[in-house]
Amino acid sequence: MKLELHPHARQTLADGLFAAGVEFPCGGESACGGCKVRVLDGEVPVTLAMRDALSEEEIRDGWRLACCALAEGRVVVEVEQWSLRVLTDEARVPIEPRAGRGAVIDLGTTTLVVQVVDLTNGEVLRVETALNPQARYGADVMSRLQYDLRQPGELGRVIRQALGRMLGSESLREVLVVGNTAMHHLFGGLNVEPLTHAPFVSPTLGGFRFAEEELAWPGPAEFLPCLGGFVGSDLLSGIVATRLDQQTRPHALFDIGTNGEVVVGSGQGIVCASTAAGPAFEGGRIGAGMRAGTGAIDNVHVRDGGLDCHVIGGGAARGVCGSGLVDAAACGIDLGLIRANGRLTNADKRLPLADGVALAQSDIRELQLAKGAMAAGLRMLTGEGVEKLYLAGAFGNYIRQASARAIGLLPEDLAVEPVGNSALRGARMLLLTPSTRKARLRKIVALSRHVELAADPDFQYLYAEMMALSRYRLSG
């Protein structure tokens, strides 16, 4: 998140940033580093205090402490505490060496990740992350689709330009893009109308290509195909990364988030479904909820019969993020403060976490709705039993598995392996193996079947059952 400031002569950046809502965890004592900003444009000299709080490398990269930064004239900064935890991926993957550079893009509803890759050896040369600029026009996919109906094409132009800037100017042999069905349609300027009502079936789910001139990008682009409904090529490339299509026994890929997804399958066949959990795991619709930034409780443990909270940045707690919410609920159950039916047991129906931060009964209810939808979707698709569960995405990477099991989000009886940003990794695997790419994509698309959970009348009862904040098993 960028911010432009015009400080008066020899004034610190703190005033302007404070007015913009940036917080100073240690009160501007230059002690905590929580007010870190990265200078993108303008001059901000390094002080002694900064040398103490920041690493050599950070200073070289333009990081400064806002509380003691003196500047003159126009300064553009990026604010650390507003930046999201964006998952990239550097895992080694098989490669067919060829000349030149290429890139992969994970086009998320909230965040964007671009990786520029050396095609000769598979090395990741550069990673760029940013917030999806479409967010200004609506936080969730539905509101963006709605915007596109009113202003067709605008969101497509916005995202293509933003990604073009992130790719830079150096020539690229090809760029592979993955994203959910809404992102796919908006990027390609396709008609989004079929995605705005039941049965949510679009006739244009296929992949598409753009020549470099069409996009004014440094290379030609290919957006990989969607699997059906809202399940897009981010999941398709997740299947590639976890090799679901090559397994002999069924495995599951679980993406926990606002627009959650479940994929279960093997080389014999793959089923996928979207399980719209809602924003609780991102701190949305939770009274004290916030994203995983400075001041967020991201970790809760039971200590001496009470709750021990970890706060990002080390300062005072301002709220609780998704991983903290799951932890807090698990600890609450452990201490008998929350019953399996979600009810808070104390008289005022609140679960205090830290000074000024507490969970209310309605927050626990939101968590039940969200985790219930994810777990019900998983149970619905894992009928014949699965070998292992791969956890995709940022949230899956940060939650404590023990807590997720205790609240009944993850099953008891299954090995769980977080796979980080599997969408990005799968895309890179496809980029680096051009000879087999087409056939593999075709095979996965042919193997996959999308199921609409809402179409099943039993979903409601399974969903209600899975709202319980208690452990569950997939088998038996």
- Interface residues with ligand B12 (CB under 6 A) are 140, 142-143, 198, 200, 230, 258-259, 274-279, 369-370, 373, 452-454, 459-460, 463
User: DSSP character for 375?
Assistant: H
16 part of the interface to ligand FES, by CB under 6 A: no
C-alpha distances out from residue 401 to 41, 329, 395, Å:
42, 13, 11
Q: How far is the CB of 29 from ligand FES (least distance, A)?
A: 6
Residue selected from 1, 11, 18, 31 as contacting ligand FES according to rule CB under 6 A? 31
Residue selected from 39, 67, 359, 404 as contacting ligand FES according to rule CB under 6 A? 67
User: DSSP character for 54?
Assistant: S
Q: What is the distance between the alpha carbons of residues 152 and 190, in angstroms, rounded to a whole number?
A: 9
Query: Facing residues of 38 across strands?
Result: 63, 78
Contacts of 93 (CB under 8 A, 6+ apart): 122, 425, 428, 429, 432
Residue selected from 13, 65, 93, 430 as contacting ligand FES according to rule CB under 6 A? 65
Classified as helix, coil or strand, 347 is coil
369 part of the interface to other proteins, by CB under 8 A: yes
Question: Residue 274: phi, psi to the nearest 5?
Answer: -100, 135
342 part of the interface to ligand FES, by CB under 6 A: no
Which residue shows structure tokens 């507490």? 358
Query: Facing residues of 118 across strands?
Result: 101
Query: Position 392: which residue type?
Result: A
Q: What is the distance between the alpha carbons of residues 409 and 469, in angstroms, rounded to a whole number?
A: 8
196 part of the interface to other proteins, by CB under 8 A: yes
Residue 142 or 335 with smaller CB distance to other proteins: 142
Query: Facing residues of 254 across strands?
Result: 262, 391
Residue 176 or 262 with smaller CB distance to ligand B12: 262
- Binding positions for other proteins, 124-153, rule CB under 8 A: 142-143, 145-146
Return the structure tokens found at 291. Answer: 């994203």
Q: How far is the CB of 307 from other proteins (least distance, A)?
A: 21
Q: How far is the CB of 309 from ligand B12 (least distance, A)?
A: 24
Q: How far is the CB of 37 from ligand FES (least distance, A)?
A: 10
Residue 53 or 468 with smaller CB distance to ligand FES: 53
Query: Facing residues of 331 across strands?
Result: none
Q: How far is the CB of 377 from ligand B12 (least distance, A)?
A: 6
Q: What is the distance between the alpha carbons of residues 128 and 60, in angstroms, rounded to a whole number?
A: 17
204 part of the interface to other proteins, by CB under 8 A: no
Residue 68 or 263 with smaller CB distance to ligand FES: 68
Residue 198 or 439 with smaller CB distance to other proteins: 198
Residue 229 or 418 with smaller CB distance to other proteins: 229
Relative to beta strand 306-311, strand 296-303 is antiparallel
Residue 128 or 140 with smaller CB distance to ligand B12: 140
In the complex, the residues that contact ligand FES under the rule CB under 6 A are: 24-26, 28-35, 53, 65, 67
